[in-house]
A and B are shown apart, each in its own frame.
Chain A
Amino acid sequence: MAARLRLDHAGIEEMLKSAQVAGVIDDAAAAVASGVSETARDGQAIPVKVDSYTTDRAAAGVTMAHPAGLGIEAKRGSLSRAAAAAGLEGSAGAEASQLLDYVTASGRRRKATRAQVDNWTRGRS
């Protein structure tokens, strides 16, 4: 007999927003930030900021907070290489973090990523 699997979406969301998961994310972001050491043309050290936030899950961003930050990332890949050294692989972050309005089968409206919507609606016409 085929088993029926029902995901506890509310439970999964609660877990992804929990302090424990946020702590793991913050540790990973701190590891990336500590791997970045850049200086601007004028010799000033580039400040590296970590911002923790919550979408449908705990998240964190690492930023070179300087006008030259984007150019340094373009030319040297400082953040990208620090992330790889911390065992993190780049993904389509901007796309993944963009939340869509999704109406569930029961009519409930909720925010979801494109990947979540694709997963929930797979096989439907």
Chain B
Amino acid sequence: MSPAAIRFPDPRLAVRDLARELLADRTEPSALGAVVSTKTASPDDAKRSLPHVHVRSDGSFRDSRLNGRATIRVVVWHRDEGLAQDLALLLEALLLATTSNRVRGFSSVTGPLPTSDPDTGEPISYFTLTARLRPEQL
């Protein structure tokens, strides 16, 4: 009998959905109205909505059939550097303390670090996590 086929969820979508849930009820000023997306913040002022949280995966790793991980980078655009850093700190803390039906847990890798958008000069803050993904039997 062949072994069961195991797949892992798309880490970007899993973390995006989790971040949306975690931020939905937050009342901190930096979190109000936050948009969480797998797309980067629009450079077009007319279309821009701040704060904007961009979730992306920088690499996926699988070292056994059941052990899958992904490096997740979260970038926060906000109205000023302090608010960007505050929201990044808040979201990192919430993610490190949570789990979902697609993510078993997170570990910190780097950040949150305040910096500026290399294309527009706007304030941003970012952090990187390892997401341990939940295996799914097909």
**A-to-B contact residues, CB < 8 Å:** 40-41, 68, 70-77, 80-81, 83-85, 89-95
Contacts and interface: CB of A to CB of B under 8 A. Distances in A.
B37 interface: no
Given A71-B124, A90-B128, A77 B117 contact: no
B12 interface: no
Contacts of A80: 58-59, 71, 73, 128
A75 B122 CA distance: 11
Interface of B: 40, 56, 58-61, 69, 71, 73, 75, 107-110, 113, 115-119, 124-126, 128, 130
A109 to B, nearest CB: 29
Contact of B108 (A84, A89, A92): A92
A77 B17 CA distance: 21
Given A74-B75, A75-B40, A89-B69, A81 B108 contact: no
A83 B58 CA distance: 9
Contacts, number: 68
B71 A90 contact: yes
Given A80-B59, A80-B71, A80-B128, A90 B109 contact: yes
Nearest to B124: A74
Contacts of B58: 77, 80-81, 84, 90
A41 B119 contact: yes
Contacts of A75: 40, 75, 117-119, 124, 126
Given A89-B69, A89-B71, A84 B59 contact: yes
